[in-house]
Structure 1
Amino acid sequence: MDPLAGLLDGARARGAFLVRACFDPPWSVRVEDEAPLTLMLPVRGDAWLVPDDGEPLRMRPGDVAMARGPAPYTVADDPQGAPRAVIHPGGRCSTPDGSSLMQSGYLGVRTWGDRTDGDAVLLIGTYQAHGEVNRRLLDALPPLFVLPSEVWDSPFTPLLAQEIVKSDPGQEVVLDRLLDLLVIAGLRAWFSRPEAEPPGWYRALGDPVVGPALRLLQNAPARPWTVARLAAEVGVSRAALARRFTDLVGEPPMTYLTGWRLALAADLLGEPDATVGAVARKVGYASPFALSAAFKRVHGVSPQEHRAAGSSGQRRPGDGAPVEVAAGPEVRQDTPKA
């Protein structure tokens, strides 16, 4: 598994918020839900994606847009239009003065707005919990971006349009998986664009030295890696690997490994039968205590608290804020794992 595949594999919606939004002009919706990642697919009519800071982005039918939280933004038919509705955490909708709009705009199963055949129709899917999307993936994305239809083509868009209005048994799972597939397709297309400015680890994949080293860390995080062992695997000196890896990726090899191990641990802790001990072994920590200490240092909560927050759908402490990962004693440059 390459590093991009590993990050995309972490996009797992669980009871995602999905809606078919139908509007007649003039319309403008302020989004303040703080969701980690939202996908928007215009299927009829043009729309504008307006950040609080920066230039508006136009969306046309066939395009795909994504928004990385928690920063608010506005979706409207006119970038200058005043918001007529506000979306809050959990999908709650109100007028700008706080009056509820949930019932007044209801048009049927997962359909909301003015009328079902409105001039503008958008399919919207939102990951509501931060554990559903890998933090390193989110950090690699801009706050807002739009992929035009000429560089984006997915057979899943018409399928989502059909499924989003159904209430069949198991429909929530069907929609979660469709959202995952659409997001993965969109992110893969985005990272191939010249304007994407991908992170250092993505650019480094093509390097003949650092690329293989990244794949080794990604595919076998449980191995007792040191810089010397990693350098021997890729056939260069320890000093050469450390220098080249840091220059291209932006952080030393063992710091990258710590971040990757803890990102994997955060995802694995969401599995219903996972124990802290089993997760620790899978990601390269010799004991639950070693994982718990590292996890709390980075995430601000224990693994048990992280799992409890995920199962309740709560926002975890520290989510949405930059995390600075330091190589602790469990991954010192040339010592075995703790």
Structure 2
Amino acid sequence: MDPLEDVLTLLETRSHLSVSLAAGGRWAVRFDAPQGVKFNAVRRGSCLLEVDGVDEPIGLAEGDCYLLARQRPFTLRSDPEAVPVAAGPLFARAEDGIARVAQGDEVFLVGGRFSFGTRAHELLLDRLPPVIHVPAGTRHAETVQWALTAIDQELMRRQMGSTLVAEHLAVVMLVHVLRLHLAREPHAVSGWLAGLGDPVVAPALASLHRDPAHSWTVAELARAAGVSRSTLAARFKDTVGQGPLEYLTRWRIELAAQQLREGGGTLASIARSVGYGSESALSVAFKRVLGMPPGDYRKRPTTP
């Protein structure tokens, strides 16, 4: 897997589709801060998105979609003057999977949210802007539109397993939205995400993720990237915020922490699987990165 797939898998990424929204005329709906990452796609019509803490409203046209990477209240509306109604009671009255506001159905949105495991904020969400807007017709957006159309079809046909298939398609959509965002705004993210958009750093990151237990040297990683050791070391530090071997240590600890959360394996076997020759070596690195020894981490209750 590549680094993006690795992190999304480590974070136990799950999608949860919600009731669709149909609207017409003058309307506005006010949503509480979502749990996880909220997404919506405009399948018909247009509207405005207002997110608390974001200065300007975002115009959404047919085919657009967006992700809210922060847990902030937001409003969808037809125009700035429309008086909003609360989303909770509106969606509670939904029929056939569709909540309706005002009169007509000139505007139709599908959506849901993504939930993640315990390390989501540090590894992914804190590195994203509050809102990622993907306009229809932009370069590379075809795959996002394909996923959205397939989700629509699954939800309309309601065949056996349609909800499961649609939720997996939503995760596919998430991967493509993140790829598009990296391609479009490589300087708007930080850390390992920024490294994925850098032509020198990306091959080194891919090597580290392909075999994290290997005893990598900067020279080996520089050969994979096709540059000198000094160039790779400087570029990696400037882009990711830490050196390549420091990044390797942190990724190994994330993998070890995942195994500890899942409760399987002895500390010795976990140490070997992530590239440490002994329990003590893993324990020292683990405490340095996560602030506690592995034994204490394993006993800690997990809270998504």
Shorter-chain TM-score range:
0.7 to 0.9
Equivalent of residue 113 in structure 2, options 123, 126, 135: 126
The more displaced of 245-254 and 132-141 is: 132-141
**Alignment check: 8 A CA contact 1:22 1:116 kept:** no
Q: Which residue of 2 aligns with 1:187?
A: 178
Counterparts in 2 of 1:90-169, with a 5 A limit? 93-94=88-89, 101-103=90-92, 105-108=93-96, 110-114=97-101, 118-131=105-118, 135-151=122-138, 152-153=141-142, 154-165=145-156, 168-169=159-160
Q: Which runs of 5+ in 1 are unaligned?
A: 87-92, 95-100, 310-314, 316-338
- CA distance in structure 1 between the partners assigned to 2:259 and 2:82 by the alignment: 43
Q: CA RMSD in A?
A: 3.8
Residues 196, 147 of structure 1: alpha-carbon distance in 2 compared, 3 angstrom cutoff: farther
Is the contact between residue 35 and residue 68 of structure 1 (CA under 8 Å) also seen in structure 2? Answer: no
- Cα separation, partners in 2 of 1:292 and 1:62, compared to 1, 3 Å: same
- The residue aligned with 2:291 is 297
The letter of the residue matching 2:134 is L
Q: What is the Cα deviation at residue 265 of structure 1?
A: 4.9
> Paired residue for 1:247?
238
Asked if the contact 2:127/2:191 (under 8 Å) is kept, the reply is: no
Distance of 1:169 and 1:137 partners within structure 2: 33
Identify the residue that residue 22 of structure 1 maps to in structure 2.
Answer: 22
1:283 maps to 2:274:
yes
- Closer/same/farther in 2, CA of residues 16 and 284 from structure 1, 3 Å limit: farther
Distance 1:75 1:266 in 2: 39
Residue-pair matches, total: 289
Secondary structure in structure 2 of the residue aligned to 1:158: helix
- Provide the C-alpha distance between the structure 2 equivalents of 1:148 and 1:8, rounded to a whole number of angstroms: 23
1:83 to 1:161, Cα distance in 2 relative to 1, 3 A: same
Q: Structure 1 pair 239/129, CA: closer, same or farther in 2 (3 Å)?
A: closer
Q: Which residue of 1 aligns with 2:42?
A: 42
Q: Which moved more, 1:114-123 or 1:145-154?
A: 114-123
Output the CA distance in 2 between the equivalents of 1:174 and 1:270. Answer: 27
SS in structure 2 of the partner of residue 190 of structure 1: helix
CA contact (8 A) 1:12 1:133 kept: no
What is the CA–CA distance in structure 1 between the aligned matches of 2:49 and 2:273, rounded to whole Å?
Answer: 41
**CA shift for structure 1 position 55:** 1.0
Whole-angstrom distance in 2 between the partners of 1:171 and 1:274: 33
In 2, Cα distance between equivalents of 1:52 and 1:215:
36
Q: How far apart are residue 41 of structure 1 and its match?
A: 0.6
* Greater Cα offset, 156-165 or 189-198: 189-198
- Structure 1: distance between partners of 2:15 and 2:193: 30
TM-score with structure 1 length normalisation? 0.69
Unpaired runs of at least 5, structure 2 = none
Residues 174-253 of structure 1: pairs in structure 2 closer than 5 A: 174-194=165-185, 197-199=188-190, 201-202=192-193, 204=195, 206-208=198-200, 210-225=201-216, 229-234=217-222, 241-253=232-244
Give the Cα–Cα distance (whole angstroms) in 1 for the partners of residues 41 and 252 of structure 2: 34
- Supply the AA of the counterpart residue of 1:143: P
* Separation (CA, whole Å) in 2 of partners of 1:32 and 1:280: 43
Instruction: Report how far residue 303 of structure 1 moved.
Output: 4.3
**CA–CA distance in 2 between the matches of 1:30 and 1:274?**
44
Write out per-residue CA displacement over residues 24-46 of structure 1, whole angstroms, 9 at most, x where no aligned residue. 34332333344332221101121
